[in-house]
Amino acid sequence: LEIIHIETPGSRSEVRIGEEWRRVAHLIPERGIAIITDENVFAIYGNNFPSSPVFVLPPGERSKQLSTIEDLAGKMLESGIDRSGFVLGIGGGVVCDIAGFLASVYMRGIRCGYVSTTLLSQVDASTGGKNGVDLGGVKNVIGTIRQPEFVICDPEMLLTLPAEEYLSGLAEMIKTAIIGDSDLFRMLEDHHGEVLRRDTGLLEMLVSRSVRFKAKVVIEDENEKGLRRILNFGHTFGHAVETALSVRHGFAIASGMALAAEFSVEKGLCGIDDATRINRLLQLYGYDKIPDVSPSRIEELVRHDKKKSGDDIWFVFITGIGQAVFRKVPVNEVIDFYKRFSVKPQG
Ligand code: ADP
Ligand code: ZN
């Protein structure tokens, strides 16, 4: 068990990696708890949930709506949960986003904690306190930043994840390696077989390293005024690809990272050898390199990016494996790069 502490102004949070998830019973109050989960997680793990009211959502992004929050708040009122209550999210990114947002607005804010059940949420979504719901197809329009009291990451729970969900999360771990941890990158290269076999001992170590890096970034810049932006590496193109092709987040981010690495080389920021290593690692895990999306569609989607300010966009480049920088770049330049890139014959 490794506990990573995240202290930000006004809150303390801990990510507990390698803890058996049933031990969550020791971390929550005795009464006044609402458990939020989804149907898939409930079907597999529901029998062992702590005894409290459980609200089970349909799985998937479609549950991330304001109406879900209203609905759940109504049910919590009916269950008599007051300001001393506690919201426990048991699930992936979707469940934890909803649980965290609900806890931050119910009665102007009550306590919350998560059992994080997907690789994506363990390495990314559950650390950092971002939560929220979508609006009219645009992701996370309404939400808050609020740290949960704890996040349990039990690698055993990852064994039941569908393969594509596992690989989607793995891409976000690769992102962490590229922007901040070259040793992690090397481990992902060297232990490819064990990673794909989901060796739980190895996973505990890899998840720990990923969370440690993210925690460091979040402690320094909780509200994304600066450093936290580097976590968006691969996400400018990635988000556009995700929307255009409706693929899982990580798969879209993987092609976004390949593009961003190439763009970094073109800008003279990163050597070709590092970009090649990145491409090789992405290929090793089976991610597609070139997204099949037209430049005009990419243009339309990038122009709607939330991270845009005026005609510029904060774009994250790398200067090598384990090192990222962000720069304000004219949107046109980003689009032009994609146009050039997408006509180049790919090897
Ligand atoms: P993410 O964490 O990728 O944002 P979701 O919360 O949507 O994603 O979870 C992805 C899918 O995996 C959902 O269908 C969810 O029900 C399912 N799921 C979550 N955790 C597990 C698990 N430990 N075992 C099996 N399926 C799971
Ligand atoms: Zn992401």
Please provide residue 323's backbone torsions phi and psi, each rounded to the nearest 5 degrees.
-140, 125
Distance CA 210, CA 212 (A): 5
Average the pLDDT over 283-297 and give the result.
89
Q: Which ligand is nearest to the CA of 234?
A: 2
The mean pLDDT value for 61-68 works out to 96
- Do 237 and 245 contact (CB within 8 A), yes or no? no
Taking residues 79-91, what's their average pLDDT? 97
CA–CA gap between residue 257 and residue 238 (Å, rounded): 7
In angstroms and rounded to an integer, the radius of gyration of the C-alpha atoms of the chain is: 20
Atom of ligand 1 nearest to the CA of 157: 23
State the Cα–Cα distance between residues 3 and 10, nearest whole angstrom. Answer: 19
Give the number of the ligand closest to the Cα of residue 242: 2
Question: What is the CA(118)–ligand 1 centre distance, in A?
Answer: 5
CA 33 to chain centre: 25
298 φψ region: left (φ > 0), alpha (ψ -120 to 50), beta (else): alpha
Give Cα separations from 141 to 97, 101, 134, 136, 307 (angstroms): 12, 12, 5, 9, 12
pLDDT of residue 345: 55
Q: 231 CA distance to ligand 2 centroid (A)? A: 8
pLDDT at residue 14 tops 70? yes
Mean pLDDT on 314-331: 96
Q: Three-state secondary structure along 44-70?
A: HHHHHCCCCCEEEECCCHHHCCHHHHH
**pLDDT average, residue stretch 97-106:** 98
User: CA–CA separation, 134 vs 109, rounded Å?
Assistant: 20
Per-residue pLDDT reduced to its tens digit, 260-287: 999 999 999 999 999 999 999 999 999 9
**Interval between CA 164 and ligand 2 midpoint (Å):** 15
Mean pLDDT of the region 12-23: 97
- Which residues sit with their C-beta closer than 6 Å to ligand 1? 38, 40-41, 44, 59-60, 91-95, 117-118, 120-121, 125, 157, 160-161, 165, 168
> What's residue 344's pLDDT?
65
Identify the residue whose C-alpha is closest to ligand 1 atom 5: 92
The pLDDT value given to residue 346: 53
- Distance, in Å, from the CA atom of 314 to the CA atom of 230, rounded to the nearest integer, reads 9
Query: Closest ligand to 154 CA?
Result: 1
* pTM of the shown model: 0.94
pLDDT given for residue 306 in this prediction: 67
**97 CA distance to ligand 1 centroid (A)?**
12
Atom of ligand 1 nearest to the CA of 94: 6
* Between 345 and 229, residue with greater pLDDT: 229
Nearest CA to ligand 1 atom 17: 40
**Which ligand 1 atom minimizes the distance to the CA of 249?**
3
CA 40 to centroid of ligand 1, rounded, Å:
7
What is d(CA 31, CA 85) in angstroms, rounded to the nearest whole number? 8
pLDDT-based confidence at 291, cuts 50/70/90? confident
Nearest bound ligand to the CA of residue 92: 1
Q: Which long-range contacts (CB under 8 A, 24 or more apart) does 330-334 make?
A: 331/302, 331/303, 334/236, 334/263, 334/302
* pLDDT for the residue numbered 24: 98
Atom of ligand 1 lying closest to residue 158 CA = 23
Query: What tens digit of pLDDT does each residue of 159-217 get?
Result: 999 999 999 999 999 999 999 999 999 999 999 999 999 999 999 999 999 999 999 99
Identify the helix (H) or strand (E) that includes residue 214.
Answer: helix 200-220
Catalytic residue positions?
108, 130, 172, 214, 224, 228, 232, 235, 239, 249
pLDDT at 347 over 50: no
- For atom 16 of ligand 1, which residue has the closest CA? 40
First to last CA, the chain: 43
Contact, 144 vs 101, CB < 8 A?
yes
